[in-house]
Amino acid sequence: MATTQLMKERIASQEGQQMLANLYGKEMLEMQTGRYSSLLTQYEELFGAGDVRLFSAPGRSEIGGNHTDHNYGKVLAASINLDTIAASAPTSDRRITIVSEGYPGQTVVDLDELGPIEGEGGTTALVRGIAAGFLEFGYHIGGFTAYVSSNVLSASGLSSSASFEMLVSTILSTYYNDGVLDAVMMSRIGQFSENRYWHKPSGMLDQMACAYGGLITIDFKDPAQPVIEPIEYPFRDKGYSLVIVATGGNHADLTADYAAVPNEMFEVARLLGGQVCRDITAEQIYENLGMLREQAGDRAVLRALHFLEENRRVDEQAAALRNDEFDKFLTLITESGNSSWKWLQNCYRDSDSREQGITIALALTEQYLRKIGKGACRVHGGGFAGVILAIVPGESADEYAQFIGGTLGTQTFTINVRQQGAICLAI
């Protein structure tokens, strides 16, 4: 640890610049140096110049495996070069105090009062849940102060909440547990917080992709011990860009829509004698189709079939990347997007069919990609509102961004895969 001034000097040093280049790329060095310097200045103004450490947790991109993790399925995901960062120091007062750039007030959690509080929501509930989760799983907690800044788009499907969860978890792991918590344990704690304190029936995809780093497949067949396999694939070197398109919607109030997806899958599995869709087969669905349609409903059946096909596709997508069969990979991405739109049905809300930002963005992108003859697109993340993912030839990325800006009037963000997950910066 070091004073804020000394930490600024370390960031500007050769070692610090190399660290930032590894995290964000050399083209982002000047911007990121200024970003961390500003972070430290703000921390000092709020909490003083005492000993601090710097932390970073990336957002994530879901590339394959849409709505599979909660039914013990498989996903293909990546940490990205948009992140949540913090300047922080431990304290002895048994309080976590966080100030987040762009948000009013402070988040303050008393570590001696960690039970869920009726009506409490937002960041405070999430931090309280994380601290409670550390104790629930047998780890230590203590106070700290932090100034936090994030460029992970909020309520967009890039997992700004999971990025924040993994940031807080890394701080507690570093200060009070010798940094021993791995990506799986921190993800379990993040899920615990969301399930118990936010009342969101989430899986662990978002947290795992933010915590681990790089392009990975995750198999949640045993959710307590997910199997993670890294994949090395340089999209930029292959001439393609991963582009996130903001559709203009916001998915912050869509908990009921999200909850219906796993719950309907659970119901199909239950009617076939299982607990989750990982326990059943498509053949069982075919053999019992009449009963399932009557008791669970047609949408539930379609969502279960989506799960089974999407699970298979993740394996094929990973194999295509490992074998450098990129055209096949793009075909599988297109299939995934079509399945999410038609079978999973998470591209717009049934209750508000007039607002279909995601499907409009997908339709425009499909037309653009058809014109240039390359690329693929799909809904990104939870769906219903938020963003889509487009995989576009690098030479067309600027033109595509102009096309989206001129039609939808929204932004695009070209993202890169980041190899580091949630970390305490070692400088």
What's residue 157's pLDDT?
64
The number of folded domains in the chain is 1
The predicted model gives 11-21 an average pLDDT of 94
Q: Is the pLDDT of residue 291 over 80?
A: yes
The sign of the torsion formed by the CA atoms of 302, 388, 248, 99 equals: positive
Residue 248 has pLDDT above 80, yes or no: no
DSSP string, 10-52: HHHSHHHHHHHHHHH-GGGHHHHHHHHHHHHHHHHHHH-S--B
> Which has the closest alpha carbon to 199: 275, 118, 114, 103?
118
Instruction: Answer yes or no: is 381 within a domain.
Output: no
Residue 358 lies in a domain: no
Model confidence pLDDT, tens digit, residues 347-369: 998 888 888 999 999 999 999 99
Burial class of residue 122, CB neighbours in 10 A (0-12, 13-18, 19+): exposed
Is residue 202, in this structure, part of any structural domain at all?
Answer: yes
Between 127-131, 178-182, 348-352, the lowest mean confidence (pLDDT) is in 348-352
DSSP annotation string for 169-224: HHHHHHHHSTT---HHHHHHHHHHHHHHHS-----SHHHHHHHH-SEEEEE-SSTT
Does residue 39 surpass a pLDDT of 80? yes
8-state DSSP, 343: I
Question: Is residue 296 a contact partner of residue 290, using CB atoms and an 8 Å limit?
Answer: no
Give CA separation, 242 vs 74, 84, 231, 358, 367, in Å: 21, 20, 16, 17, 18
Residues 6+ apart with CB under 8 A from 186: 165, 166, 169, 170, 173, 207, 211, 422
3-state secondary structure of 63: strand
pLDDT grade for 383, boundaries at 50, 70 and 90:
confident
pLDDT band at 372 (very low <50, low <70, confident <90, very high): very high
Task: Please state the pTM of the whole predicted model.
Answer: 0.88
Instruction: Examine residue 325 and state whether it is found in any structural domain, yes or no.
Output: no
Cα 64 from Cα 42, distance rounded (Å): 38
421 found inside a domain: no
Q: Report yes or no on 204 lying in a domain.
A: yes
| Helix 357-372 and helix 397-407, axial crossing angle in degrees, nearest 10 | 140
Alpha-carbon 215 to chain mean position = 13
Determine, yes or no, domain membership for 13: yes
**Domain with 15 in it:** 4-57+82-208
Q: Residue 237 falls within a domain, yes or no?
A: no
Give the pLDDT confidence score for residue 350 in this predicted structure. 85
How far is it, in rounded angstroms, from Cα 217 to Cα 315? 8
Residue range 245-249: average pLDDT? Answer: 82
The CATH number that applies at residue 124 is 3.30.230.10
Within 10 angstroms of residue 294's Cβ, the number of other Cβ atoms is 10
246, 279, 402, 318: which is closest to 77 by C-alpha?
318
Per-residue pLDDT, 252: 54
